[in-house]
């Protein structure tokens, strides 16, 4: 997910993900949400943790940014 730069840190990202979790929970048949995030994005990781997503794994050096390998963090949240 991505919030326009000028609108970040105003609670919009939290609201978007919270709404996503609520809608998926209400649907009743969705058991689990999963996401991936670059390891060098501590703000996003903190946001996901605070909404109940747990670390499930790391894909080491899965992508290159500016020529440098970056890990991808896999996170999940059970709704049941």
DSSP per-residue codes, 13-24: HHHHHHHHHHHH
Collect contacts of 67-72 with beta carbons under 8 A, ≥24 apart.
Answer: 70/38, 70/39, 70/40, 71/38, 71/39, 72/36, 72/37, 72/38, 72/39
Which residue number places its CB atom closest to ligand COA? 13
Q: Smaller CB distance to ligand COA: residue 10 or 32?
A: 10
Residue 43 sits in the site that holds ligand COA (CB under 6 A): yes
Q: Which of 23, 40, 42, 71 binds ligand COA (CB under 6 A)?
A: 42
We find the least distance from the C-beta atom of residue 28 to ligand COA, in angstroms, to be 26
How many other CB atoms are there within 10 angstroms of residue 73's CB atom? 22
- Under rule CB under 6 A, residue 8 binds ligand COA: yes
Which residues form the interface with ligand COA (CB under 6 A)? Answer: 1-3, 8-14, 37, 41-44, 46-47, 50
């Amino acid at each position: 997910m991505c919030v326009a730069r000028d609108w970040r840190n105003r609670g919009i990202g939290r609201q978007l993900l919270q709404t996503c979790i609520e809608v998926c929970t209400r649907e009743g048949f969705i058991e689990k949400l999963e996401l991936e995030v670059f390891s060098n994005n501590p703000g996003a990781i903190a946001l996901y943790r605070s909404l109940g997503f747990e670390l499930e794994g790391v894909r080491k050096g899965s992508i290159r940014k500016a020529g440098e390998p970056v890990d991808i963090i896999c996170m999940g949240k059970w709704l049941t």
